[in-house]
C-alpha cells in the first residue's frame, strides 16, 4: 500500500487499499456519456510489431468509457499506414489514424507554413500536437488522455486512473499527470532521479522561492509521458517539438490554469518500457540529447518568468547541481541497499557527469540565443490565423481513414 502524504502544491492521488478498477470504469462509463473522452496514442510503426502494443490494443478492447482513439503515427509509408489501419481496426471504439507523412497531411503543413505558424520538426511533439488538433475538430470531446505505446507492463487500470480526475464532474481537474515507480532488479528513471530533481532543487537554492520551481518540484515523475487534460487546455497550450516535451507541457499547464486544478495520480505499481542509451560522448543522441533539450526548456521557461542569466549564474549552477546530484546518488544507493537491489555506482556517476555536460551545453545555447526555436503554436492561434483549418484537418484525417 502506498503512503497518503501530500507534498508540494499539486494534489497527489495514491494507490490506497484494494484497488477496484471495475468500480472506476463503471463510473467512467457513466461520466463519458456526457463528458466524452478521446485517447491519443503516439506510435512508431516499429511498435506495431512488438508485444507491448499488441497487449495494449487487446486490453483497450474493454475500455468502453473511451469514445475515440486517435493513433498518431511516426514516419511510415502508405503500405505501413494500411497495415496500421488493419492493426487497430479490431478495436470497438471509433478509431482514427493520423498519417503524418501522407500527402493530405503535407497539404495541411503547407497551409501552416504559408501562414507562418510554427508546427515543429517531425517527432512526438508534432505528432501529438496534430492529434490534439483533430480531436478539437470533433467539437464533442471533453478531455483527452495520452499514453505511450511501448509500455511492457500495461494494465487498463493505468488509463482509467489517469482519466478519472479530469473526466469526473465531481473532481473536475483541468490536468492530471501520471506517476509510477520504475524498478526491476535496480532503480530506473535516471533522468528524473539524477537530472531533473537535482537541477530544480539547485535552482531553488540559488534563486530562492519561485512558484514555478515549487510547482515543478511537486511532481513525483515530471518526465512521465502519461497525462489527461481537458479541451480548454488542449486548445491554448503550446509545446516544444523536442525532448523537452514533458517539461514544456507542465510549464504551459502552469501558465494556462490554476495550480489548484492540477493533480497527479499513481497509475501503476511498476512501469517498464524501452530504455534510451546514455551516449556520454555524443550530445546529439540518446539520453544526452534528451537532457540538453530538457535543460533548454527549463531555462527558457524560467527566463520567461523574469529570471536573469549570466555566465556566472550557470557556472554556479553547475557546481550546485553536481553537489546536489551526488547527495541524491548516495540516497538512491542506500535505498537500493535496504531493498536488496543492484546499484551500479559507476554507471550512476557516469550519468551525473553526462548530465553535467548536458547542462553546460544547454546553458551555452541559452546564452547565445535565449529564445531559440519557437514552440509549436497553440491551436487557438491556428484557428485565428487560418479560418476553416479545423474543417480541412478533419477532412484530411477522415479521407485517409476511408
**Residue 3 domain-assigned (yes or no):** no
Q: Which of 149, 22, 17 is nearest to 73 (CA)?
A: 149
Question: What pLDDT sits at residue 275?
Answer: 67
Q: For the segment 323-367, what is each residue's pLDDT rounded down to a tens digit?
A: 999 999 999 999 999 999 999 999 999 999 999 999 999 999 999
- Arithmetic mean of pLDDT over the chain: 94
> Rounded to an integer, what distance in angstroms lies between the CA atom of residue 33 and that of residue 99?
29
In a domain, 1, yes or no: no
**Residue 89 within a domain:** yes
Query: Is the predicted pLDDT of residue 52 greater than 90, yes or no?
Result: yes
Q: Smallest Cα–Cα separation from 247: which of 204, 181, 200, 209?
A: 200
Nearest to 220 by CA among 256, 252, 182, 180: 180
Q: Would residue 236 count as lying in a domain?
A: yes
The pLDDT tens digits for 216-275 are 999 999 999 999 999 999 999 998 888 889 999 999 999 999 999 999 999 988 787 766
pLDDT for 270-305, tens place per residue?
787 766 788 877 777 788 999 999 999 999 999 999
- Res 279: pLDDT: 80
What CA–CA distance (Å, rounded) separates 147 from 227? 7
Residue 6 lies in a domain: no
User: pLDDT tens-digit profile of 158-193?
Assistant: 999 999 999 999 998 999 999 998 899 999 999 999
pLDDT at position 270 is 79
- Nearest Cα neighbor of 299 from 237, 221, 363, 377 is 363
How do residues 371-397 score in pLDDT, each as one tens digit? Answer: 888 899 999 999 999 999 999 999 999
Angle between helix 245-256 and 124-138 (nearest 10):
40
**For 191-218, how does the pLDDT look when each residue is reduced to its tens digit (9 = 90+)?**
999 999 999 999 999 999 999 999 999 9
Look at residue 67 and tell me if it is in a domain.
Answer: yes
> What's 121's domain CATH number?
3.90.550.10
307 grid coordinates: 529570471
- Close Cβ partners of 249 (under 8 Å, ≥ 6 residues apart): 227, 237, 239
CA torsion sign for 205, 265, 159, 187 is positive
Query: Does some domain include residue 200?
Result: yes
282: containing domain: 11-400
Give CA–CA dist 342/291, Å, rounded: 24
pLDDT tens figures, 11-21: 999 988 777 89
Residue 269 or residue 10, greater confidence: 10
Q: How many residues does the chain have?
A: 402
* Buried b or exposed e, range 72-91, using 16+ CB within 10 angstroms: bbbebeeebbeebbebbeeb
pTM listed for this prediction = 0.95
Is residue 33 within 8 A of residue 127, CB to CB? The reply is no
Mean pLDDT of 108-116: 96
Residue 225 lies in a domain: yes
Task: Look up residue 172 and give its three cell numbers.
Answer: 473536475
Residue 4 pLDDT greater than 90, yes or no: no
The 3 state secondary structure assigned to the chain is CCCCCCCCCCEEECCCCCCCHHHHHHHHHHHCCCCEEEEEEEECHHHHHCHHHHHHHHHHCCCCCCCEEEEEECCCCHHHHHHHHHHHCCCCCEEEEEECCCHHHHHHHHHHHHCCCCCCCCCHHHHHHHHHHHHHHHCCEEEEEECCCCCCCCCCHHHHHHHHHHHCCCCCCCEEEEEECCECCCECCHHHHHHHHHHHHHHHHHHCCCHHHHHHHCCCCCCCCCEEEEHHHHHHCCECCCCCHHHHHHHHHHHHCCHHHEEEEEEECCCCCCCCCCCCCCCCCHHHHHHHHHHHHHHHHHHHCCCCCCHHHHHHHHHHHHHHHHHHHHHHHHHHHHCCCCCCHHHHHHHHHHHHHHHHHHHHHHHHCCCCCCCECCHHHHHHHCCCHHHHHHHHHHHHCC
Q: How many domains does the chain have?
A: 1
Residue 387: which residues within 8 A CB-CB, separation 6 or more? none
Amino acid at each position: 500500500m502506498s503512503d497518503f502524504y501530500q507534498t508540494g502544491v499539486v494534489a497527489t492521488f495514491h494507490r490506497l487499499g484494494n484497488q477496484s478498477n471495475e468500480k472506476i470504469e463503471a463510473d467512467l462509463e457513466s461520466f463519458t456519456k456526457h463528458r466524452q473522452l478521446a485517447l491519443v496514442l503516439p506510435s512508431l510503426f516499429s511498435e506495431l510489431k512488438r508485444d507491448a502494443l499488441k497487449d495494449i490494443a487487446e486490453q483497450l478492447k474493454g475500455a468502453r468509457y473511451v469514445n475515440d482513439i486517435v493513433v498518431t503515427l511516426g514516419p511510415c509509408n502508405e503500405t505501413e499506414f494500411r497495415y496500421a489501419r488493419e492493426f487497430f481496426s479490431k478495436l470497438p471504439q471509433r478509431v482514427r489514424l493520423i498519417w503524418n507523412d501522407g500527402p493530405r497531411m503535407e497539404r495541411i503543413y503547407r497551409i501552416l507554413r504559408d501562414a507562418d505558424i510554427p508546427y515543429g520538426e517531425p517527432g512526438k511533439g508534432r505528432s501529438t500536437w496534430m492529434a490534439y488538433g483533430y480531436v478539437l475538430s470533433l467539437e464533442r470531446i471533453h478531455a483527452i488522455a495520452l499514453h505511450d505505446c511501448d509500455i511492457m507492463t500495461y494494465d487498463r487500470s493505468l488509463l482509467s486512473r489517469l482519466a478519472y480526475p479530469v473526466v469526473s464532474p465531481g473532481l473536475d481537474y483541468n490536468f492530471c499527470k501520471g506517476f509510477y515507480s520504475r524498478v526491476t532488479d535496480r532503480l530506473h528513471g535516471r533522468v528524473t532521479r539524477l537530472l531533473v530533481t537535482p537541477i530544480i532543487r539547485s535552482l531553488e537554492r540559488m534563486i530562492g522561492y519561485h512558484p514555478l520551481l515549487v510547482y515543478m518540484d511537486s511532481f513525483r515523475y515530471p518526465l512521465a509521458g502519461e497525462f489527461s487534460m481537458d479541451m480548454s487546455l488542449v486548445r491554448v497550450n503550446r509545446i516544444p517539438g523536442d525532448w523537452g516535451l514533458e517539461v514544456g507541457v507542465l510549464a504551459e499547464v502552469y501558465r494556462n490554469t490554476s495550480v489548484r486544478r492540477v493533480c497527479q495520480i499513481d497509475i501503476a505499481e511498476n512501469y517498464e518500457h524501452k530504455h534510451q542509451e546514455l551516449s556520454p560522448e555524443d550530445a546529439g543522441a540518446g539520453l544526452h540529447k534528451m537532457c540538453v533539450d530538457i535543460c533548454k526548456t527549463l531555462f527558457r521557461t524560467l527566463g520567461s518568468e523574469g529570471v536573469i542569466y549570466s555566465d556566472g549564474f550557470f557556472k554556479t549552477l553547475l557546481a550546485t547541481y553536481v553537489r546536489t546530484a551526488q547527495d541524491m546518488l548516495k540516497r538512491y544507493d542506500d535505498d537500493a541497499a535496504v531493498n536488496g537491489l543492484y546499484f551500479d555506482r559507476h554507471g550512476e556517476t557516469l550519468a551525473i557527469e553526462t548530465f553535467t555536460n548536458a547542462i553546460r551545453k544547454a546553458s551555452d545555447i541559452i546564452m547565445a540565443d535565449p529564445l531559440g526555436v519557437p514552440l509549436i503554436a497553440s491551436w487557438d492561434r491556428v484557428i485565428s490565423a487560418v479560418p476553416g483549418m479545423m474543417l480541412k484537418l478533419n477532412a484530411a484525417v477522415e479521407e485517409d481513414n476511408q
